[in-house]
Amino acid sequence: MLDPRTISERTAAPLVRLTDATIGYGAPLLTDVSLEVRRGDFLAVVGPNGGGKTTLLRTLLGVLRPLAGRRTQSESLRIGYVPQRDHVDPYWPLTVAEVVLMGRCRLLGPLHRPQAADRERVRVALTRTGIEDLAERSFRTLSGGQRQRTLIARALASDPELLVLDEPTNGMDPAAELAAMDLLRDLHGSDSLTVIMVSHRLEAVANYARRLAFVSHEQRLWRVGELEQMLTAEALSALYGRAVAVREDGGRRFVYPLASGVSRTGSDA
């Protein structure tokens, strides 16, 4: 029997929707893209580098207009955006708390100074991401994983309904990647946040997302579906253009390419 919350999530109007969209910068990258993101979703957009993932994300955010088709969103949708760490100046002369406070700027409006309520939201965001002890540390002194948590806390400080992350585990070691994904799982579950993330690291999302979207400009591939439907050797081989195996070990899924001539028989989880 479906949970009542799950039923309401599926029947509510989408937070954001693309309908028969063509996306790209002047020249089309992908065509006939239709996608609905509903409250409570955890969607991971995956595919090879240069395949169009970030272009799709920018179109979903409304930063990039579809070349054809249309984009719609729910009224007054609040989006918290976490950019790629490589696109953020690591030498900001700011403390962690000051970086997180930047997330309140949109809510404050021009010429308004932060109030006690804003600083309380910063404190909550720092605590939620497990970095409250770093509040007075300089952003430039942080590790990659700590910077990522700071950027997530900045997005949370804006009180989002939809949390959007672009390659949040890029460049992390396996332990930091696992910790970051566990945090996103907790934010999705405990905080009831809707999550969209882009990743070229399929294993980083295979054990967390509810739905997967496959994007590959080279393969002319666009496909979206439930995790179990998408996480098959056949579907992944079509995405990456080579044989791929999916295995389960210790309750976790692992995805890896196969050498030429190796059979996939019996490899699916």
Tell me the pLDDT tens digit for each residue of 43-88. 999 988 888 999 999 999 999 999 999 999 998 899 999 988 766 7
CATH of 4-228, one of 3.40.50.300, 3.30.930.10, 3.40.980.10, 3.40.50.1970: 3.40.50.300
Q: Which two tokens stand for residue 77?
A: 């949708």
What is the band of 109 on the pLDDT scale with cuts at 50, 70, 90? low
Domain boundaries, the chain: 4-228, 232-269
Tokens of residue 243, six digits: 């044989």
| pTM of structure | 0.85
Spatial distance between the Cα atoms of 199 and 182, rounded to a whole number of angstroms:
15
Sheet with 68-73, edge to edge strand ranges: 27-37, 16-25, 68-73
Q: Mark out the alpha helices in 164-240 (DSSP H runs).
A: 174-190, 202-205, 227-230, 233-240
pLDDT at 266: 44
In angstroms, the CA 88 to CA 259 distance is 37
- Tell me the pairing of strands 252-257 and 244-249: antiparallel
Residue 114 has pLDDT above 90, yes or no: no
Kindly tell me if the per-residue pLDDT of 2 is higher than 80: no
pLDDT at 7: 45
Cβ-based burial of 68 (10 A; exposed 0-12, middle 13-18, buried ≥19): middle
113 pLDDT above the threshold of 80: no
**Residue whose tokens read 């998408």:** 230
Which H helix or E strand runs over 105? Answer: helix 105-108
Residue 83 neighbours by CB distance under 10 Å: 16
φ and ψ at 42, to 5 degrees? -135, 95
Order the strands of the 162-166 sheet from edge to edge: 79-82, 162-166, 194-199, 42-46, 211-216, 221-226
**pLDDT tens digits for 223-236?**
999 998 898 888 88
| Mean of per-residue pLDDT scores for the chain | 86
Rounded to an integer, the average pLDDT of 2-24 is 74
Beta carbons of 16 and 60 less than 8 angstroms apart: yes
The pLDDT of residue 93 is above 60? yes
